[in-house]
């Protein structure tokens, strides 16, 4: 469909969002990114104004006018967005630090499907200060970890007497796109008017789909791009780190003090416009945010998300399996207990294929870390995906870990068929081969179940989800044998066949003065061992009600059954092998977190492993303004188990302080304490973005042991670390 000339409305309206088109206009003079639209060419472009509500009233005209203009030159894609507002004083703006919770503010999101493949996209998020957030969408889906990706671009925001204005420049070197003379891209613009809890879109994508932002196949089309400068793009990002780390004496383990002094380099090279090579030498992740403490009241391992920058770009491409349950590649397996010496990653497109390849060499763990880490060696993964038909993806994965005296390999294939709104059928199958690599907890679990029929080392799953604008239903089957052992992956539970089903309804109340939507779901699970022996059952009836004010409340009733063939432990308390059944109720609430004061909390009570458990949790957040946000959380469990010393309580307290002098200088502090480990942990992180993509980090990390010392040789200070890290991005 042909584009339009400058001066005319830059969209073609059709019944289908995919028929709508925006034409970018070339400019010979790049604009100054200052949110002041005083360049003459901006006024020669006819704006896009047909934004429609998705919430609260699906398809209704936006309550406030939005004007979008798009331009480009050889190097950048430019956006000018005028967001009219009848109450400028009501515009919510509180976030200055990059990658903060920008969704708590009024904001604009730009979605770009740069390959126009109808499945993958970049997201650029900007608030009225011009503060940036960004994310990646892979195969029309995304998780919270996808928001950890950071792209390099310019943006500025400004509040006016008529609303607010955003101006942005996205370099063509930040995004990857088709190697053609006139590339077309998918595009979506989402605006959130936070005080009204209203979200408007161009193009409009209705409530028949679960998320408009991720529905890349329904994006409009961006045309008009031509004559873009090609060639090889390179960037080098050297770093220097200096600091000191001290580990306190623990029992018969001597204390250790280390002076930190390292140099390293990250290197990026665009082999083609579609294919990028990233290399790293002696990487360091001292600036990465600390993990949130979790108290484990289950009999399975806890899952902690990846936060290291090197692993985040196109991370969704490497996804294989069931998130947080059974994944073939889990990047936190690399370089947590061992240091990474170096390696490379290749990502992008080659014809119809999406390619992800990664290979990193890790060193042998030193000192007492040897107990926790696998031997050093070569860690590699190859991931391929193709889209043979619209909204259909097939792919494969190969992982390899070679270290010590052995190896581990996994080979698998998967598919996903998406249809209708958010309906889909997906499945995966993988096999592992093990040549002696010891994978810690998974190997111990396999050893403990050595007398069980383990089956072959082939795991897999198939799942179907059907969803309309009102109803939803799903069914799934998963099979995870004991001998399935992905050394570079994560397996929450093995020796398992799981049968799952769910039905739900999510009516919306568009005419209500107080209620917005109810999401009601009934879900059931039946889990047996590979030999067919019954292990667990679960039946969950949950109801989540969201209000027009942005507040939410939920109620859930849970009935669980457990059949233990051998004893297990909950927080060190031994539970004997027998049948257990328990029922509980959970009530939770969240107030609108865009307000100056917001709160969250809940209570859960009921039976627990033939005993009882009561959980109270709550949190408060205070936004004093854009320069300081303080929040705190508290969780308390009172547990009674049918075991020796089975009556106990747990407490977890955390305080988070976010401070920002400007968009370039900000800090966060996280202080946590739990009475299981009896350790007070504090992590303070200061970040100065001295040039785009380049940072100066100052990080302090401590752990202090409270309570009685079981061994008088143990020091209370478990660790004390101070680090300064300087990075500098140079593009060629």
pLDDT digits (tens, 9 = 90+) for 270-302: 888 788 899 999 988 877 777 888 888 888 888
Phi then psi dihedrals of residue 368, to 5 deg: -75, -5
Question: What percentage of the chain exceeds 90 in pLDDT?
Answer: 71
Give me the mean pLDDT over the 678-695 stretch: 94
Give the 3-state secondary structure of residue 285: coil
Separation of alpha carbons 141 and 217, rounded Å: 11
Tokens standing for 57? 């009233």
Residues 6+ apart with CB under 8 A from 576: 564, 567, 642, 643
- Cβ(457)–Cβ(485) below 8 Å: yes
Checking if the pLDDT of 234 tops 90, the result is no
Asked if residues 613 and 639 have their Cβ atoms less than 8 Å apart, the reply is yes
Whether 9 shows a pLDDT value over 60: the answer reads: no
Question: pLDDT tens-digit profile of 142-184?
Answer: 887 788 788 899 999 999 999 999 999 999 988 888 888 899 9
Per-residue pLDDT tens for 539-570? Answer: 999 999 999 999 999 999 999 999 999 999 99
Contacts 24+ apart (CB under 8 A), 408-416: 408/432, 408/433, 408/434, 408/435, 408/437, 408/439, 408/485, 408/486, 408/487, 408/488, 409/433, 410/328, 410/486, 410/488, 410/489, 412/320, 412/321, 412/328, 414/320, 416/139, 416/392
Asked whether 51 and 198 are in contact (CB, 8 A), the reply is no
The phi and psi torsions of 680 (rounded to 5 degrees) equal -90, 120
* Contact residues for 438 (Cβ-Cβ < 8 A; gap 6+): 374, 404, 406
pLDDT digits (tens, 9 = 90+) for 438-485: 544 444 444 344 444 555 899 999 999 999 989 999 999 999 999 999
In sequence order, what are the beta bridge partners of 195?
Answer: none
Asked if residue 687 has pLDDT above 70, the reply is yes
- If 0-12 CB within 10 Å is exposed, 13-18 middle and 19+ buried, where does residue 527 land? buried
Alpha helices (runs of H) in 363-484, residue ranges in sequence order: 441-448
In 143-290, beta strands by DSSP E: 154-160, 163-171, 185-193, 198-202, 220-223, 234-247, 256-270, 275-281
Provide the CA 615 distance to its chain's centre, in angstroms: 27
Q: Any idea what DSSP says for residue 291?
A: P
Q: Beta strand 21-23 with 220-223: parallel, antiparallel or unpaired?
A: parallel
Identify the CA nearest to 68 among candidates 92, 40, 86, 46: 46
Angle at the Cα of 432 (from 428 to 437), degrees rounded to 5? 145
What is the per-residue DSSP string for 596-649?
SEEEEEEEEEEEETTEEEEEEEEEEEEEEETTEEEEEEEEEEEEE-SSTT-EEE
Kind plus residue range of the DSSP H or E element containing 392: strand 392-403
Largest CA distance in the chain: 80
- DSSP-derived pairing of the beta strands 25-26 and 66-72: parallel
């Amino acid at each position: 469909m042909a584009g339009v000339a400058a001066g005319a409305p830059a969209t073609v309206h059709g019944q289908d969002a995919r028929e709508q088109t925006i034409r970018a206009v070339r400019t010979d003079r790049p604009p100054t990114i200052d949110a002041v639209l005083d360049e003459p060419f901006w006024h020669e472009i006819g704006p896009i104004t047909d934004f429609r509500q998705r919430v609260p009233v699906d398809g209704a005209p936006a309550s406030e006018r939005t004007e979008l203009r798009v331009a480009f030159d050889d190097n950048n894609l430019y956006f000018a967005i005028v967001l009219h507002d009848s109450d400028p004083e009501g515009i919510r703006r509180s976030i200055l630090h990059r990658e903060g919770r920008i969704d708590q503010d009024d904001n604009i999101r730009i979605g770009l499907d740069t390959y126009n493949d109808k499945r993958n996209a970049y997201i650029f998020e900007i608030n009225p200060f011009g503060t940036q957030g960004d994310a990646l969408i892979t195969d029309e889906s995304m998780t919270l970890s996808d928001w950890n990706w950071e792209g390099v671009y310019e943006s500025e925001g400004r509040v006016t007497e008529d609303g607010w204005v955003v101006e942005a420049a996205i370099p063509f070197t930040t995004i990857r796109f088709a190697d053609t003379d006139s590339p077309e891209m998918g595009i979506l613009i989402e605006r959130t008017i936070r005080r009204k809890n209203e979200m408007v879109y161009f193009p409009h994508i209705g409530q028949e789909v679960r998320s408009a932002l991720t529905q890349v196949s329904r994006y409009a089309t961006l045309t008009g791009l031509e004559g873009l400068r090609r060639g090889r793009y390179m960037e080098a990002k050297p770093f220097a780190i200096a600091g000191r780390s001290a580990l306190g004496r623990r029992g018969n383990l001597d204390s250790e003090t280390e002076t930190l002094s390292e140099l390293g380099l990250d290197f990026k090279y665009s082999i083609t416009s579609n294919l990028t090579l990233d290399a790293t030498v002696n990487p360091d992740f001292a600036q990465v945010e600390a993990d949130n403490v979790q108290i484990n009241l289950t009999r399975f391992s806890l899952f902690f998300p990846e936060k290291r920058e090197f692993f985040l770009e196109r991370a969704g491409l490497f996804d294989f399996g069931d998130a947080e349950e059974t994944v073939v590649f889990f990047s936190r397996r690399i370089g947590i207990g061992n240091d990474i010496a170096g390696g490379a990653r290749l990502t992008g497109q080659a014809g119809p294929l999406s390619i992800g390849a990664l290979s990193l060499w890790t060193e042998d763990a030193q000192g007492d870390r040897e107990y926790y880490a696998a031997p050093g060696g070569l860690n590699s993964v190859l991931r391929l995906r193709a889209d043979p038909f619209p909204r259909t993806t097939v792919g494969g994965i190969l992982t390899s870990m070679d270290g010590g005296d052995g190896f581990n390999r996994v080979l698998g294939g998967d598919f996903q068929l998406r249809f209708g709104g958010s309906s889909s059928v997906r499945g995966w199958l993988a096999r592992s081969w093990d040549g002696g690599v010891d994978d810690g907890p998974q190997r111990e679990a396999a050893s403990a179940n050595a007398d069980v029929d383990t089956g072959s080392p082939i795991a897999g799953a198939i799942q179907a989800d059907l969803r309309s604008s009102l109803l939803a239903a799903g069914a799934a089957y998963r099979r995870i044998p004991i001998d399935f052992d992905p050394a570079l992956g994560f397996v929450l539970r093995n020796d398992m066949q799981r049968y799952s089903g769910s039905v739900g309804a999510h009516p919306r109340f568009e005419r209500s003065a107080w209620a917005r939507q109810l999401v009601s779901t009934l879900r059931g699970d039946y889990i047996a061992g590979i030999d067919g022996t019954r292990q667990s059952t679960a039946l969950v009836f949950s109801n989540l009600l969201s209000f027009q004010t942005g507040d939410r409340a939920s109620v859930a009733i849970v009935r669980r059954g457990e059949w233990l063939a051998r004893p297990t432990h909950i927080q060190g308390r031994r539970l004997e092998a027998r049948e257990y059944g328990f029922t509980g109720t959970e009530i939770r609430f969240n107030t609108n977190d865009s307000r100056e004061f917001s709160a969250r909390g809940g209570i859960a009570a009921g039976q627990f492993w033939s005993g009882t458990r009561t959980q109270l949790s709550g949190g408060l957040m205070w936004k004093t303004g854009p320069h300081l946000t303080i929040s705190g959380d508290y969780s308390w469990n009172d547990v009674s188990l049918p075991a020796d010393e089975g009556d106990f309580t747990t407490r977890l307290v955390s305080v988070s302080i976010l401070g920002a002098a400007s968009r370039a200088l900000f800090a966060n502090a996280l202080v946590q304490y739990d009475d299981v480990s009896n350790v007070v942990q504090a992590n303070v992180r200061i970040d100065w973005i001295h040039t785009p993509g380049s940072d100066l980090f100052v990080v302090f990390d401590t752990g202090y042991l409270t309570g009685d010392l079981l061994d008088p040789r143990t020091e209370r200070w478990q660790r004390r670390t101070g680090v300064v890290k300087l990075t500098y991005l140079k593009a060629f």
